[in-house]
Chains A and B, each alone.
Chain A
Amino acid sequence: MDLKVILGIVLAGILSNNYALLHFLGTGAVLENERSSRRSLTLGLGTTLVMVISTLITWPLNTYVLAKVPYLQTMVFVLVVLMVVEIIHVIAKNILDNYCKSDFVKFAINGAVLGLCIHNTHDEFVTAIVTSAAVGIGFMLTMTVYAKLKSTLVDEEAVPPTFRGLPIDLLTAGMMVLALLALNFKF
């Protein structure tokens, strides 16, 4: 695969193909995130790993096994994601527990991972793997930047009372969306 193509997919994963902000997949996980940058990065990295390994398994499964029974797709995919998350959690227990206070399992089973696995079934295998890594990196950066933004920018007193909490969080994320859209030159 061409380096240019790979670079394109990675950039898209962070910008135009940003799952949490633009595709609304895993948005809840990002909006909820108030962790420190180090924890966010660890969780994001873990999620990226889950995305790549899940795609490695779900893509062939979908292509060769599920073609006859498409209605089982969601169930099988969730099962695969669940197992991958559990296995990673067992293997990297020390690292994850130190950094994430063991909420990794609940965190990593999110809409972005499942949505990605489903989206990836429409792509070539290699493209799907690269996309997974790209989307994972985009997801990691988004949640880290968002948490940082939220902790530094928002002065609760400056926000009208009715807008405190979720509304201002949404607007913060919305501003990030605008920045991404500006980079894409389309609205």
Chain B
Amino acid sequence: MKLLKTFVILVLIVAIFGGAMFALNLYTGPIIAKNSAGAANDRLNSVMAGGAAYEDITATLSDLPATVTAVHKETSGLGYVIEATATSDYTGGAPMDILIGVDSTGVICGIQLVSHSESLIFGADYPSTYIGKDSALAGVELYAGSTFSSTAFKDSVSAALNALAANNLIAAGVKGDDQILTEMIPTVAPGFTKLLEETASGNIQKAFQAENGAGFAYIMTAGEKSYLAVVNAMGACKVYDTEGNDVTADNAALADEAKTDAAAKQAAYLDPFKSKIEKMMEGAADITPITLDTFNSVVSAASFTFEGATYYAFYSRSVGFHQMDIYFIIDANGAITKMDAKQFIFEEEYFMAFGGMDVTAYKDGFVGITGDTFTGEEVIIATATMTSNAVKQATEDTFDAFNALKGGAQ
């Protein structure tokens, strides 16, 4: 009886409140539904002002890069909103989530970094430097102090816009000559890290210095045409036209102007390098500097004699977690005789957890390796990936320089 009564009371209460909720739902239901639809639109509207409704057209597009996760079309024709991701060497748990709004003419009208787990992220106002740009992203720079993350961000945005252009949704942006030439620098001079802008004069429209001191790059004009001139730390110069052809031979005047400008600013690596060689191989004689037209991380090269045999020395300034100074001495047969570096690990700043390394054994591990037997295993320093990569680059660049030297000598 008690149970029955309790049951009846409960049923009554539940029925009354259920009814009340049903009634209230008639009022709140539509509002809630509208809110949740609005919330989805709000997210996209944050980069597309005034967007009314969106249609997901991801599935209809071809050849989307892996970084593009979704493409929404604003149904009234305002443009498109792209959801993209980006991953850099500094990405922690999850990739960056990026929301890009592109208007119907292909110009970025809004952009947002929605979430990220970068350990070094660019400033909050960096994405807004993309607004107003088309797929060429002319004038968009990387963010100093967060080069890896901003490069990944820029690449992702660029890939997303290019994909829309490739699908004929927007017009592809047109790149100016100097943008084409500037973007060419990493290809023709892979050893130049982080270009810092310098003062320009004469035919030089824009001048850049590689932060690692590996050389200079110049955007130059002669008549109507623009050229890219690169000068390495050893003083060699190459000139390229906008199509990427090596036109050094036809533009000796430009090359000389570039060389002169570079020579005035170039840090002197040769003298300290000479004394370094003498330290590494006591009794080295006839140290003769060599000029190579490689544009990698090798900043200085020299030949010398030691106990009657000829040796070659190379100085590479590749960048790991920090700027590195790495030296190689190679015998006439192309085998490493000695390897040294100013410092491998910058413990006080970074490697709090670093257990220490046997530097002598590490250096000795390089002895006898030639360009053909180098596997990349030799460079690995446990827990120090970026330093290992820098050593690897220095080693490869040195062998490339050696091959160029040998090729040139033949």
Contact = CB atoms under 8 A, between A and B. Distances in A.
Interface stretch (A32-40, A71-79, A171-179): A71-79
A115 to B, nearest CB: 20
Closest 10 CB pairs of A and B: A71-B25, A71-B21, A75-B17, A72-B21, A72-B18, A75-B14, A79-B14, A75-B18, A75-B21, A79-B10
Given A69-B25, A75-B21, 9 more contacts: A71-B21, A71-B24, A71-B25, A71-B28, A72-B18, A72-B21, A75-B14, A79-B10, A79-B14
Interface in A103-151: none
A75 B24 CA distance: 15
Contacts of B24: 71
A71 B17 CA distance: 11
Chain B interface size, under 10 / 10 to 19 / 20 to 34 / 35 or more: under 10
A72 B24 CA distance: 12
B322 to A, nearest CB: 27
Per DSSP, chain B at the interface is helix
Contacts of A69: 25
12 contacts: A69-B25, A71-B21, A71-B24, A71-B25, A71-B29, A72-B18, A72-B21, A75-B14, A75-B17, A75-B18, A75-B21, A79-B14
Interface of A: 69, 71-72, 75, 79
A53 to B, nearest CB: 19
Interface in B21-35: 21, 24-25, 28-29
Nearest to B6: A86
A70 to B, nearest CB: 9
Interface in B279-294: none
B274 to A, nearest CB: 50
Contacts of B25: 69, 71
B22 to A, nearest CB: 8
A72 B25 CA distance: 10
Contacts of A72: 18, 21
Interface in B242-293: none
A145 to B, nearest CB: 30
A57 B208 CA distance: 69
Contacts of B21: 71-72, 75
Contacts of A79: 10, 14
A79 B10 CA distance: 9
Which of A69, A71, A75, A79 has the most B CB atoms < 10 Å from its CB?
Answer: A71
A79 B18 CA distance: 12
A67 B10 CA distance: 23
A72 B29 CA distance: 12
A71 B14 CA distance: 13
A147 B18 CA distance: 40
Contacts of A75: 14, 17-18, 21
B23 to A, nearest CB: 11
Contacts of A71: 21, 24-25, 28-29
Interface in B318-338: none
B362 to A, nearest CB: 31
A71 B29 CA distance: 9
A75 B11 CA distance: 12
A71 B31 CA distance: 14
A158 to B, nearest CB: 37
Contacts of B14: 75, 79
A79 B14 CA distance: 9
Contacts of B17: 75
A69 B18 CA distance: 10
Contacts of B10: 79
Contacts of B18: 72, 75
A148 to B, nearest CB: 36
Contacts of B28: 71
Which of B14, B17, B24, B28 has the most A CB atoms < 10 Å from its CB?
Answer: B14
Nearest to B17: A75
